[in-house]
Amino acid sequence: MAKQKPEQARTRSLDRRAFLKGSVAVVGSVATVAYPGVSQATNPENLPPHVPEWSQALGDGVDVTPYGQPSTYENTVVRRNVPWLTATPESSISFTPLADLQGIITPNGLHFCRHHAGVADINPEDHRLIIHGLVDRQLMFTMADIKRMPAVSRIHFVECAANGGMEWRGAQLEAVQFTHGMISCCEWTGVKMSTLLDEVGIKPAAKWLLAEGADAAGMTRSIPMHKALEDCIVVYAQNGEMLRPEQGYPLRLLVPGWEGNMSIKWLRRIEVGDQPWHTREETSKYTDLMPSGKARQFTWFQECNSVITSPSMEKSIDGKGFVEITGLAWTGQGKIKRVDVSVDGGKNWQSAQIDGPVLDKALTRFRMAWRWDGKPALLQSRAIDETGYVQPEFADLRRLRGEWSIYHNNSIHTWKINTGGDVENVQLS
């Protein structure tokens, strides 16, 4: 760039170069005075008007990262687990860092993980899917057979039925990652279960499927035929690439909108039958103990739910003024119709703006502009789905279900903003 003559800058000509030169001069003189942002820099030498380090040398070439990774400056955005929650990491759960994610898609490396016997390390060449039972012809598919079949790509969430489970008896966890991070949302690609069942031909008496995983847990679950035919997919890809090992590589079942537990990973066997199978998983774990002493079972779909991801315990407010309240809403029963936000603990509600696509059984992003006056506030979100179902308050849910459940807690949560701008997980009743 040709050097500007000082006279030109002084005349504040509208010529672009003169304008740029003028602004640099202004920044330079102001930088020595209090200038927002300067105090937060790790090295003021990188700030204007200096030439930062990264502008002074060549960077890595295209051959250095054949598979890209996030910036090293984002290395705190990771899955985390709660060590006291389970006895071993092989049968445990890690949580998605919801507060740091944007939009509705969960990056593959941040999808929450729930394993009962660790990650199966499967060579796809040696993996087979068997479909047998009440069928006209039992078949065994290779991965190549499955990838040859007509495919679909669908965006859906997977949510563990235990999401929010630690909050039944009181506010316990100081991070939205832990209160709600047992949910993730990806674009899944695979073959519809109905296509596979067409291939084997189901007998008239066939009413149930048993899906079995190839991990050391050999996890199985019964799935009613109407759901299998409606929208279940046998998936091999996740957000454009092959499934991650943690998500069931090379093949998993996806049961959209229903308990994550039914989406059997490392899928190796589907048996077709006329009644549900009573497995350990179903009879002892995924039921909800009610105040009466009876337990609910077949609580398949994930109820309509929502959470504010920012401000949140991880995202405090830096001084009064404009704040965008944003979060996620979802329902296992279809699409989200509306999300309301309250800043006074549920006394007044305002409809939030829905941003981006509103998809069937997928995360939906909401946003609301807010001006924080610096006083304590109680933030809540309440989702309503297309069936008209309204996300319940804690008190109402407890009245109905008691406090002995582990699963299916979809109550409204409250984030308390304190005067300093930090955020606390509280329960109002």
Ligand X SMILES: Nc1nc2c(c(=O)[nH]1)N[C@H]1C(S)=C(S)[C@@H](COP(=O)(O)O)O[C@H]1N2
Q: Which does 288 bind (CB under 5 to 8 A by kind): Mo ion, ligand X, none?
A: none
**Strand pairing of 414-417 and 92-94?**
unpaired
* Smaller CB separation from ligand X, 116 or 416: 116
Nearer to ligand X, 247 or 391 (CB): 247
CA 268, 261, 364, 335 dihedral sign is: positive
Q: Which residues contact 373 (CB under 8 A, 6 or more apart)?
A: 320
Residue 18 in contact with residue 25, Cβ under 8 Å? no
Tokens of 153: 């790509």
Q: Binding to ligand X by residue 260, rule CB under 6 A?
A: yes
Q: Which helix (H) or strand (E) holds 327?
A: strand 321-330
Is 341 within 8 Å of 367 (Cβ atoms)? no
For residue 50, the minimal CB distance to ligand X (Å) is 46
Q: How far is the CB of 184 from ligand X (least distance, A)?
A: 6
Nearest distance from residue 271's CB to ligand X, in Å?
Answer: 15
196 binds ligand X per the rule CB under 6 A? no
Residues that bind Mo ion (CB under 5 A): 114, 160, 260-261
113 binds, among Mo ion, ligand X, none (CB under 5 to 8 A by kind): ligand X
User: Which token pair is 191?
Assistant: 């073959």
Span near ligand X by CB under 6 A; candidates 34-42, 63-71, 145-153, 210-218: 210-218
- The site partner of 266 among Mo ion, ligand X, none (C-beta below 5 to 8 Å per kind) is ligand X
- Cα(358)–Cα(352) distance, rounded to whole angstroms? 14
How far, in Å, CA of 330 to CA of 107, rounded?
18
User: Does 183 sit near ligand X (CB under 6 A)?
Assistant: no
Question: Per rule CB under 6 A, is residue 158 in the interface with ligand X?
Answer: yes
Site for ligand X in 27-56 (CB under 6 A): none
Rounded Cα distance between 11 and 103, Å, is: 46
271 binds ligand X (CB under 6 A): no
Which CB sits closer to ligand X, 242 or 354? Answer: 242
Q: Out of ligand X, Mo ion, none, which partner does residue 213 contact, by CB within 5 to 8 A per kind?
A: ligand X
The listed partner (ligand X, Mo ion, none) that binds 79, CB under 5 to 8 Å by sort, is none
What would the two tokens of residue 262 be? 């039914």
Residue 425: both structure tokens together: 């997980």
Q: Contacts with ligand X in 89-128 (CB under 6 A)?
A: 111-116
CB neighbour list of residue 33: distance below 8 Å, 6 or more residues apart: none
Residues engaged in binding ligand X (CB under 6 A): 111-116, 158, 160, 213, 215, 217, 219, 246-247, 260-261, 263-266
